[in-house]
Amino acid sequence: MHDDRRLIEGRLDRALRERIRPAIHRDPVPLDVAAWAAPDGPVPVTEGIGAPYRPVPMGQPWGAPWQTVWFRMEGRLPCAWHDEIVEAVVDLGFAMDRPGFSAEGLAYLPDGTPLKGLNPRNTWLRVPAGPDGRVAFHVEAAANPLIEGPVTPLGDPLTAGSEPLYRVVRAELARFDETVWQLVQDLEVLGQLAGVLQGLEGRRWAILRAIDSALDALDLQDVPGTAAAARTRLAGVLAQPANASAHRISAVGHAHIDSAWLWPARETIRKVARTTANVTALMDDHPGFVFAMSQAQQLAWLRDHRPEVYDRVKKKVASGQFVPVGGMWVESDANLPGGEAMARQFVHGKRFFLEEFGVETEEVWLPDSFGFSGALPQLIKLSGARWFLSTKLSWNQTNRFPHHTFRWQGIDGTRVFAHFPSVDNYNCDLSGEQVAHAVRNFADNGAATRSLVPFGWGDGGGGPTREILARAARLADLEGSPRVTIEKPADFFAAAEAEHPQAPVWVGELYLEIHRGTYTTQTKIKKLNRRVEHLLREAELWAATAAVRAGFDYPHAALDRLWKTLLLHQFHDILPGSSIRWVNREAVENLSGAAAELEALIGEALRALGGAADQTIVFNAAPHARDGVPALGGAAPAAAAEPVRVHERPGGGFVLDNSIVRVIVDHRGLIVSAVDLTTGREAIAPGSAAGLLQIHPDLPNEWDAWDIDPHYRNVVHDLTDLTTMTQAALDHDRASIRVERAYGRSSIVQTISLRAGDRAVRLDCEVDWHEREKLLKVAFPLDVHADRSAAETQYGHVYRATHTNTSWEAAKFEICAHRWIHVGEPGWGVAVVNDSTYGHDVTRPDGATTTVRLSLLRAPRFPDPETDQGPHRFACALVPGAGIDDAVREGYRINLPERRVAGAGPVTPLVSVDHEGVVIEAVKLADDGSGDLVVRLYEAHGTRTGARLRADLPVATVVETDLLERPLPGTVDHDDRQVAFTLHPFQIRTFRIQRAA
């Protein structure tokens, strides 16, 4: 029996490969091909079509890396074909096994009407013929190189060279045989189903015998003439209905398109155009086909660059076939963006879908992001969304996530209904193996009966194909298969939630047990991201304050554009650093430009606030008062605190003392003591040194830019040798020690500083980095017995174990934190704050010591061989005697330095709050141009809190809103410009204040 099965499967495979599939397109007639290479990248469609073309012989090389080449293809139908279906078949030299990762094209009629994309899974094209039978069309082709490791220069046009990459393999007209095509779909579905059936031997053999019989009926010398007879022999097994208990698959057309990755955003714009042209054309032929697309940015690009395709999309949205999902500007990374930036992903994404299509998206769609912060459920709910989807945790290296359908509870207690497609794939083609895996893998059998499957080729692969839709039709009700229904994501979620209302609860972050290196790779991008986030906070704050106080023209349009620039660069392959050199280079340029523009905008607003006088005003954009300056306001400089004292230490080194903290730097330039003088408590573990730079080898098993694997810890080199150590600065306010070191081809300068009146010991680090496949960390071994660490995340913090009792805890050997990490014992603790670092590890090397380390730099070579090379600047600070409140405060301070401006008198904050644990995160004017003041705040300490918000302006009304500044149910009472309110731990609230006339 087993041998018979193998014989039938082998017979089917060869017949399909050699005889049946080739018979779909018959009697080919060559097309005349001419080409024009655009000298400077993409051009408008009219320019490409009207360009001077030259004939191209078949097989002639074309396309230097990243070049755009326009092809003109012309031919004439034979007279006998006028009543037949005729298709052009075009192969530009595609990498057939890598749809979306090599050459691609978009076909146009001579008048500029877009037809469809051309790629490995879509080589066919139906082109209308003129009265004389002539056929003509143009193809805008992109010579995108196939980016493969371990090291390649192809990821940047500056290094990619000019040798052509491709040859046109096929360009011809052919008769399309519908019956043969349908036979191929029948045989593929049945053959794949027979290959995966388990425990249904009777059904398996019925299918195999039917296939064998169909092949008997098929004359391989005359496939077109006998295809109908072969199909008749398959009709019986195709008509057998699915079992009543069969799993239900909601199939959703999709094409996951990375907004940048192994190609720049320039190419993503065209990938989106090709894909949407494909799917809207497919919808014309398949009225039941539904396609879901996320990422408002991509549709905005389509609107601005390919309006003729965008018009088709809008019509299909109106008809219900094209479904916007996700509600975010891009599919962003979900660990690294700051809280307000993550909120603005929803604000700008949902608003685009509402304004362009009138659609309120309710599904948050992040199939490919690298783990998910526990702050997301609250943000999802506050944006007006209800559901969450991802597939990425199926990539876990250690632990299998226990649910596919569940309720996800965030750090504040908010719950959202979530689903992980059990197919473990967001580029599914509905093959027998994939749908069978979706059923076998489903973790919630017995309590739930349905899962969602996104189907279609992504990243420029063209999305769903007519072949995938044919599979879906045959699998709709077929014995041995789950029932497959094409439907909208919202229909799936509503049904799944109704079926399983008490789905299990997962609490806290969804930590991805892979791709931990993305917390560190491409440090320049991460530093600029952090800086631009805080500059946007300042720009909105000072512009709003100046608008109210001094009639400043609030820059709505500029801020909208700059937010969108930041949000784009928080895409999950840009901010994590997992893209090619071209993408990384442009990200640094674009974010640097945004930072410069924001600095100018802030300067204008502060000058408007300061007036014409020459008194020094210190402006403090942080949410806590410092040095006599109020939070969110300005004042004259405070009187000096007790000065910092410095003296040299016998045997080498220095002692710094400001009567709050005493710091000892030894002869190696390392911090061996940091005493909290208030309590007399030592922060540094006995016999250890803080600020210690450590180098590890860093060659992960796979995914160079993405991964840090645990074996990196097996080898470490401590940087204890120094080149020089000098006292760099000493005045009343600050003392600094400068330490220079060298390693390999790299140089490192650390500056250890203590300021008057400050308990933070600051370390500024300048690194000229020229290592390869190395990881640089800085260590703080602390005399603290802590079984958990607290790490800042968006709008709060998350606790993680410092031990490895379970595999779940052991897998978190590298963790993400934003501005601070805190470890403590009851009543006393230490914080480590930073201005640009995200990757950390916190361990217990012995029973009494807790070591906090920051990951500063990596040097992977794929996909960007120049990753992290060159100069870098970081700042971090050790804060002895810190509680969570101090960690929050110092984290903001190191990221929001004071600004000194010439002006007249103090600037009273527009708003203030009377509780240290309530952080005002955003102060801005309403996006609708009404002039209303919008204030977003949250509880930062993890405790239930009552507080009062005070507005220093005439108040007419106060309403609470969602993230999009839309009123929420209920009323907000205010009394004498004050609003009393409560917050539960980590709760976010947004108040909209209408100013009185």
Distance CA 916, CA 269 (A): 46
Q: Which distant-in-sequence residues (6+ apart) come within 8 Å of 956 by Cβ?
A: 994, 995, 996, 997
Query: In Å, how far from its chain's centre is CA 586?
Result: 17
What is the full DSSP assignment across 261-297?
SSS-HHHHHHHHHHHHHHHHHHHHH-TT--EEE--HH
> Whats the size of the chain, residue-wise?
997
Residues 6+ apart with CB under 8 A from 622: 631, 889, 892, 893, 896
Can you tell me the distance from the alpha carbon of 612 to that of 321, in angstroms, rounded to the nearest whole number? 59
Cα angle 762-765-769, degrees, rounded to a multiple of 5: 165
The angle at the Cα of 9, spanning 6 to 14, to the nearest 5 degrees, equals 120
* Number of other residues whose CB lies within 10 A of the CB of residue 87: 17
| Annotated catalytic residue within 368, 429, 758, 835 | 368
What letter does residue 214 receive in the DSSP assignment? Answer: H
Taking each helix axis from N to C end, the angle separating 339-357 and 523-550, rounded to the nearest 10 degrees, works out to 70
Cα radius of gyration rounded to whole Å, the chain:
31
At residue 785, the 3 state secondary structure works out as: coil
Hey, what are 847's tokens? 């029973």
368 catalytically annotated: yes
Which amino acid is it at 218? L
CA dihedral 596, 598, 599, 603 (to 10 degrees): 140
Contacts of 383 (CB under 8 A, 6+ apart): 327, 343, 346, 347, 350, 962, 963, 964
Per the structure block, which two tokens stand in for 534? 């805080």
Bond before 863 cis per omega within 30 degrees = yes
Residue 845's Cβ-count burial label (10 Å; 0-12, 13-18, 19+) is exposed
How would you class 158 by CB atoms within 10 Å of its CB: exposed for 0-12, middle for 13-18, buried for 19 or more?
Answer: exposed
Task: Specify whether the CB–CB gap between 26 and 177 falls below 8 A.
Answer: yes
Taking the C-alpha atoms of residue 312 and residue 945, their distance in angstroms, rounded to an integer, is 51
**Per-residue tokens: 542:** 């000072």
Question: Tokens 């240290």 sit at which residue?
Answer: 916
- Grouping H, G, I as helix, E, B as strand and the rest as coil, residue 373 is coil
Quote the distance between the C-alpha of residue 226 and its chain's center.
51
Q: How far apart are CA 352 and CA 296, in angstroms?
A: 6
Reference 875, options 917, 919, 817, 833; nearest CA is 833
CA distance 698 to 868: 13
Q: Which two tokens stand for residue 444?
A: 């919630």
Q: What is the 3-state secondary structure (H, E, C) of 33-95?
A: EEEEECCCCCCCHHHHHCCCCEECCCCCEECCCCCEEEEEEEEECCHHHCCCCEEEEEECCCC
Residues facing residue 991 across a β-bridge: 935, 960
DSSP string, 150-195: S--STTSTTTS-S---EE--EEEEEEE-HHHHHHHHHHHHHHHHHH
- Active-site residue list: 368
